[in-house]
Amino acid sequence: MRTNGRWFGLTLLTAALCLAACDSDDDTPGPDDAGVGDAGTADAGGSDAGADAGPTDPSSEQGDGVSRESTVVGGHSVDRYTWTDSRGRPRTVSLKRQTSAGNGGYAVQLTYQVQAGADWRTVTVDGTAGGESGFGYFVGHELYRTFDNGASGTIAGLHGEDDSPLGYGFAVQGSHSAILPGSTSASHTFTTAYPKWGTRVAMPDVTANTPAALAAHQKFMVPITLRWVFEKGTDFPRLDTRLDLGEAVAGQLSFDMRGPYGVVEFADSDTQAPLSNVQWGDTRNHFTTQAPVAGSLTTQANWTWNEPIGATRKYHSLLARHSGTGVLYELGLVELKLGQDAGLVYGGYSTNNGSTKAATGRALLSGDFSAGEWPFQSAQYSGLNPNTGVTGKKFAWGSSPFYGSALASVYFNNDFSSPISAFPASKALLYRTCVVLGVSPFTDASRKSLTRTVAESASPSCATAEPL
């Protein structure tokens, strides 16, 4: 087993360099984006409602509280799913279809209803415009390594490639379950392949020096399956993610998993809604920022990261305040384990995990609390600054960066480690997330988001049918 001192040095280097490494792929698709799977072109968010948009009269299937129709949303050909939630109100998710004019496999619009007095109002979460539009595609960062020639970086970078291209640019194959008159659930499955660089010879310890010679490396095309599930009587759809590592052996690879990933306007399509607060629950602790609800989140906000997670499901939430009404909206993800699911390990090395700003004096995104120390991709890549609120809403999941390796445990800091099944015997990595949308109950007094409430619930209102 590695010593804490060695692990400390490596992980601090990784955290310090991760701001550049982790965000370099977040702005444009990588060189392989349009060339994986079926032929297709990288979709930059433009209209694809042309010859492949489907029939003039959209095909549809109607079940008991759940339905699907092929239609056009925001210029995109989609399969729109509608279901009735726990209060009998309709919710929708529109999944972009693969067409000759653009790749698909992710949500470009989501809607739900909120009560306004005696009436109900539909909230539209939009992801139809912009370079990283939509939500639910896959991204995974390769481990930032030290090489035997003294250099550092990613293996993909040595080969002139992006170590973590955006999955929305990859061609997919999609299929959906048949919705019969008595059906109370529906699912839509997308498959693709994602590039991951590793070593030709497995490394027992990927934190050791990696060979820098190009001939020592191998590129893997990892099959990925994504399944959206919608179920009558539940509020939140589920998105299952499965990676097949069958072409590798333990120790050839090392990467994290940031899918579901994307950018949407989730505050009632208010593009000027400023970020209010961030919360997450990683494998060790709850984290929450302490910005006033009526204010905006900046790097100077107080934060706490020392409340033990216990048995709470892992989660991540981003809150934004509607610039016109002041309503606090929320987008979140909650891990949902079904059956024998093992789940993932969430978090990397950070001396801040287990502490607070009051105890350390460290500001968010300072040299002592870098973007790479955040276990989930969140406001750290949305322009967060010391003085003014920001409106960027990049949001994603996250995991330890050692999946695919042969490691049996990972350290969060000098006094906390966690076992990890980085390369399961099944050679498959599977995890499930509930996509949480709604008006947040977060207040200056309670500091508890809707997503954390769902994570702490004994029976969260999330689809459990048709597991991948």
Decide if pLDDT at 83 tops 90: yes
Give the pLDDT score at 324.
84
Decide if pLDDT at 30 tops 90: no
Average pLDDT, integer, range 15-21: 40
Give the pLDDT score at 3.
35
- If pLDDT is split at 50, 70 and 90, which confidence band does 272 have? confident
Tokens describing residue 266: 């989730």
Give the pLDDT score at 224.
98
| Domain assignments of the chain as residue spans, ordered by start | 1-34+60-70+77-87+139-164+179-468
Decide if pLDDT at 394 tops 80: yes
What are the φ/ψ torsions at residue 313 (nearest 5 degrees)? -60, 150
Give the pLDDT score at 92.
98
DSSP-derived 3-state class of residue 60: strand
Decide if pLDDT at 464 tops 90: yes
- If pLDDT is split at 50, 70 and 90, which confidence band does 6 have? very low
DSSP 299-358: TTS-EEEEEE-TTPPPEEEEEEE-TTT--EEEEEEEE---TT----------TTTT-BHH
Decide if pLDDT at 90 tops 50: yes
pLDDT above 70 coverage of the chain, percent: 87
Decide if pLDDT at 36 tops 80: no
What are the φ/ψ torsions at residue 419 (nearest 5 degrees)? -65, 150
Give the pLDDT score at 177.
95
Between strands 328-335 and 315-321, the pairing is: antiparallel
364-374 in b/e form (b: 16+ CB < 10 A) is bbeeebbbbbb
Computed over every residue of the chain, the mean pLDDT equals 88
How many other CB atoms are found less than 10 A from the CB of residue 361? 9
The alpha carbon torsion through 424, 425, 427, 429 (nearest 10 deg) reads -30
What's the start-to-end Cα distance of the chain, in Å?
Answer: 35
Q: How far apart are CA 174 and CA 189, in angstroms?
A: 6
Give the pLDDT score at 259.
96
Tokens describing residue 433: 């997330």
pTM of the model: 0.89
Please report, for residues 8, 137, 269, 383, 456, the alpha-carbon distance to residue 335 in angstroms, rounded to integers and kept in the order given.
28, 16, 26, 27, 11
Q: How far apart are CA 204 and CA 193, in angstroms?
A: 26
Give the pLDDT score at 26.
44
How many other CB atoms are found less than 10 A from the CB of residue 304? 17
Among residues 432, 430, 467, 401, the alpha carbon closest in space to that of 334 is found at 432
- Whether the Cβ atoms of residue 395 and residue 374 lie closer than 8 Å to each other: no
Output the 3-class SS for 205-265: CCCCCECCCHHHEEEEEEEEEEEEEEECCCCECEEEEEEECCCCCCCCCCECCCCCEEECE
Decide if pLDDT at 55 tops 70: no
